[in-house]
């Protein structure tokens, strides 16, 4: 293991940052799935062998190393990443929030920085599905947005230098090059647009590049590029290409991997091809090559190839892609569109190309009219209307009743514990039946349109939807995603586009079991201008 003395100058290796700085370069990245077991034994060794072979393969620029994919416990990406770095190979280390709390993640980031890893992919992570002697307890203390914010602060020099006598005086800065994921492959407006808002939020929180989710709709891929240009989200994006097979298509169709969809039409096509003599191998390789060509044509900055490819398959796909004519991608893009029934698009379709036009979806525009919003408002839950009204009158920073609330709670703070407990019980009596309050003490109801992330979100997502939904259903719980519901609620009052335009929320675990009303009014929670999330803005 090698510690890097100067973390700004890793050993001779073309970094992802370098690669993105070449505007005409199309980056070829391959995902290496980490496995359970020791790095020197099968099957981990098989993946390590592939990674080492790819180091010598000139067409591959970067290797992405997964972090307990699918919620399974695997060897850490760093184990293989260190070996690859020593050979001058750039790697992207995935860092997810499912298995570590914020201290575990910070500790891991210090270790990653010390070893010279700078390209990190910040992810919320899959819900744990396995573990020793039973399923592991998911952590999700923070999410991908908060993780990006943490990395940004570490890069800026957090924690600040300790100036006390005898202590260190130099501020320590990391030099991470953080990236993120984005999913344009969502079916409903209420799950799709929050993903795009979250991308903007992640960029404000420090994301410097992105990788798309796996998907099979060129129009959506084009739409993401257009949306980013429209909203000036100026970071480079690589598109994911998964080498499909008939079993994989069926698995995606069954929602075997949260967040990845395969339409019935695509499954039918995959099944048909699988009946051929080569089991569809040539077809699936050509499909991946066509997807690569489309990404190039649409202006993506690279491809992120996954699906446990072998070296031979990678060579074949690259060879096919190189054989295409310059404009062939346009026909491929028209051909490779497998949306789900009634899929929502932000832009109207361009009849000439079959891709996105520059005109925003007219039905969507109409749905934002005053009349439509008023109609929608009439169907909203009273929990939203009453919660918002109470917040606007008493709890908002500019609320007319805030001073009165402050006075009352300052008074309650001075009363005996029994009185304080009575006030807390009164609060819980109001919040538990309506919101399912879990008494976390650091309330995010106003952040999520009066839906409680503690009781109604399996991953306790406070900074936007995780990306695992299918047709707005949660990947874990048998219910609609709270963020889709929040979008609908906020759309009824014309505030949906601002739903993630706020400082990043870090829940303060120290407030568990204390009065959230008191904590908000007396500025002890994340709404306070003194909180870490608010101060860093
Ligand atoms: S205080 Fe915490 S647990 Fe209670 S409603 Fe608010 S976010 Fe949910």
> Are both 409 and 465 inside the same structural domain?
yes
| Burial category of 266 from C-beta neighbours within 10 Å (exposed 0-12, middle 13-18, buried 19 and up) | buried
Domain limit, last residue, from 182, 213, 244: 182
DSSP 3-state percent helix, strand, coil across the chain (nearest 5): 45, 10, 45
Q: In the Cβ-directed half-sphere of 361, how many Cα atoms lie within 13 Å? A: 15
> Are both 167 and 287 inside the same structural domain?
no
Phi, psi values for residue 261, rounded to 5°:
-115, 145
Pocket test residue of 384, 388, 427, 453 for ligand 1, highest count of atoms within 8 A of CB: 453
Report the domain count for the chain.
Answer: 3
How large a percentage of the chain has pLDDT more than 70? 95
| Residue 5: pLDDT over 50 | no
d(CA 47, CA 54): 11
> Are both 513 and 403 inside the same structural domain?
yes
SS3 123: strand
**Whether the Cβ atoms of residue 459 and residue 452 lie closer than 8 Å to each other:** no
- Stated as kind and residue range, the H or E segment containing 28 is strand 27-32
> Are both 374 and 462 inside the same structural domain?
yes
How distant is the alpha carbon of residue 448 from its chain centre?
A: 17
What would the pLDDT profile of 404-418 be if each residue is shown by its tens digit? Answer: 999 999 999 999 999
Lowest mean pLDDT among 10-19, 47-56, 271-280, 313-322: 10-19
d(CA 435, CA 456): 9
d(CA 240, CA 305): 6
- Stated as kind and residue range, the H or E segment containing 182 is strand 177-182
Domain limit, last residue, from 365, 383, 406: 365
How distant is the alpha carbon of residue 533 from its chain centre?
A: 19
Instruction: Please tell me if the CB atom of residue 437 comes closer than 6 angstroms to any atom of ligand 1.
Output: yes
> Are both 467 and 504 inside the same structural domain?
yes
| Mean per-residue pLDDT, 189-196 | 98
Position in ligand 1 atom list of the atom nearest CA 516: 1
| Domain that residue 486 falls in | 370-535
| Burial category of 473 from C-beta neighbours within 10 Å (exposed 0-12, middle 13-18, buried 19 and up) | middle
Task: Report how far ligand 1's centroid is from the alpha carbon of 455 (Å).
Answer: 8
Phi, psi values for residue 276, rounded to 5°:
-75, 170
> Are both 407 and 518 inside the same structural domain?
yes
Quote the pLDDT of residue 2: 43
Instruction: Please tell me if the CB atom of residue 457 comes closer than 6 angstroms to any atom of ligand 1.
Output: no
> Are both 503 and 527 inside the same structural domain?
yes
Tokens of 119: 């390209």
> Are both 379 and 501 inside the same structural domain?
yes
Quote the pLDDT of residue 167: 57
Which residue's alpha carbon is nearest to atom 4 within ligand 1? 437
Q: In the Cβ-directed half-sphere of 193, how many Cα atoms lie within 13 Å? A: 24
Q: Is the peptide bond before 43 cis (omega within 30 degrees of 0)?
A: yes
Instruction: Please tell me if the CB atom of residue 431 comes closer than 6 angstroms to any atom of ligand 1.
Output: yes
Name the pLDDT band for 130 (thresholds 50, 70, 90): confident
Instruction: Please tell me if the CB atom of residue 489 comes closer than 6 angstroms to any atom of ligand 1.
Output: no
| Residue 10: pLDDT over 70 | no
CATH number of the domain bearing residue 273: 3.20.20.220
Instruction: Please tell me if the CB atom of residue 443 comes closer than 6 angstroms to any atom of ligand 1.
Output: yes
Domain limit, last residue, from 165, 182, 199: 182
> Are both 9 and 132 inside the same structural domain?
yes
Position in ligand 1 atom list of the atom nearest CA 444: 7
> Are both 149 and 61 inside the same structural domain?
yes
| Mean per-residue pLDDT, 98-105 | 96
Cα distances from 8 to residues 17, 117, 527, in angstroms, run 12, 10, 36
> Are both 287 and 381 inside the same structural domain?
no
> Are both 215 and 337 inside the same structural domain?
yes
| Residue 169: pLDDT over 90 | no
| Burial category of 358 from C-beta neighbours within 10 Å (exposed 0-12, middle 13-18, buried 19 and up) | exposed
Which residue's alpha carbon is nearest to atom 7 within ligand 1? 443
d(CA 456, CA 269): 38
Task: Report how far ligand 1's centroid is from the alpha carbon of 421 (Å).
Answer: 17
| Residue 7: pLDDT over 90 | no
Residue whose C-alpha is closest to residue 392's, from 456, 450, 439, 462: 450
Angle at which helix 370-378 crosses helix 482-491, to 10 degrees, equals 120
Task: Report how far ligand 1's centroid is from the alpha carbon of 437 (Å).
Answer: 5
Task: Report how far ligand 1's centroid is from the alpha carbon of 105 (Å).
Answer: 24
| Residue 536: pLDDT over 80 | no
Task: Report how far ligand 1's centroid is from the alpha carbon of 407 (Å).
Answer: 22
Residue whose C-alpha is closest to residue 488's, from 190, 191, 187, 186: 190
| Mean per-residue pLDDT, 288-292 | 98
């Amino acid at each position: 293991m090698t510690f890097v003395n100067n973390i700004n100058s890793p050993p001779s290796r073309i970094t992802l940052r370098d690669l993105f700085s070449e505007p005409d370069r199309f980056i070829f990245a391959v995902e290496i799935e980490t496995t359970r077991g020791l790095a020197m034994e099968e099957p981990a060794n098989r993946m390590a062998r592939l990674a080492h072979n790819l180091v010598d393969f000139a067409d591959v620029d970067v290797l992405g190393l997964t972090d307990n994919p699918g919620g399974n416990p695997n060897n850490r990406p760093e184990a293989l990443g260190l070996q690859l770095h020593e050979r001058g190979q750039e790697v992207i280390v995935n860092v997810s929030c499912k298995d570590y709390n914020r201290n575990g993640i910070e500790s891991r980031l210090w270790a990653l920085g010390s070893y010279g890893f700078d390209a990190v992919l910040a992810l919320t992570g899959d819900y744990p599905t396995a573990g020793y002697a039973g399923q592991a307890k998911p952590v999700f203390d923070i999410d991908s947005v908060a993780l990006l914010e943490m990395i940004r602060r570490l890069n800026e020099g957090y924690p600040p230098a300790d100036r006390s006598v005898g202590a260190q005086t130099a501020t320590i800065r990391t030099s991470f090059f953080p990236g993120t994921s984005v999913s344009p492959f969502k079916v409903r407006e209420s799950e799709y647009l929050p993903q795009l808002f979250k991308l903007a939020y992640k960029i404000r929180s420090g994301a410097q590049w992105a990788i798309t989710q796996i998907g099979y709709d060129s129009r959506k891929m084009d739409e993401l590029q257009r949306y980013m240009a429209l909203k000036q989200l100026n970071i480079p994006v690589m598109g994911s290409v998964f080498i499909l097979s008939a079993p994989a298509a069926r698995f995606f169709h069954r929602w075997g991997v949260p967040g990845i969809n395969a339409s019935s039409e695509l499954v039918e096509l995959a099944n048909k091809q699988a009946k051929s003599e080569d089991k569809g191998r040539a077809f699936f390789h050509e499909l991946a090559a066509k997807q690569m060509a489309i990404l190039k044509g649409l202006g993506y900055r690279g491809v992120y190839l996954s699906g446990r490819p072998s070296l031979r398959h990678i060579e074949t796909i690259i060879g096919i892609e190189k054989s295409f004519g310059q404009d062939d991608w346009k026909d491929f893009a028209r051909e490779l569109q497998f949306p789900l029934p009634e899929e929502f698009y932000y832009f109207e379709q361009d009849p000439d190309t079959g891709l996105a036009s520059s005109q925003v979806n007219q039905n969507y525009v109409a749905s934002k009219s005053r009349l439509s919003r008023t109609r929608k408002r009439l169907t909203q839950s009273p929990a939203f209307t009453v919660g918002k009204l109470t917040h606007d009158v008493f709890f908002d920073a500019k609320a007319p009743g805030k001073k009165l609330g402050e006075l009352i709670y300052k008074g309650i703070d001075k009363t005996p514990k029994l009185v304080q407990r009575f006030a807390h019980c009164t609060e819980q009596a109001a919040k538990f039946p309506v919101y399912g309050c879990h008494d976390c003490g650091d309330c995010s109801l106003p952040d999520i349109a009066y839906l409680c992330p503690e009781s109604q979100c399996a991953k306790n997502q406070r900074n936007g939807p995780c990306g695992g939904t299918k047709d707005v259903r949660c990947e874990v719980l048998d219910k609609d995603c709270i963020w889709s519901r929040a979008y609908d609620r906020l759309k009824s009052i014309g505030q949906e586009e601002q739903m993630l335009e706020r400082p990043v929320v870090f829940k303060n675990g120290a407030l568990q079991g204390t009065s959230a009303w008191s904590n908000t009014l007396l500025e002890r929670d994340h709404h306070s201008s003194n909180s870490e999330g608010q101060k860093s803005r």
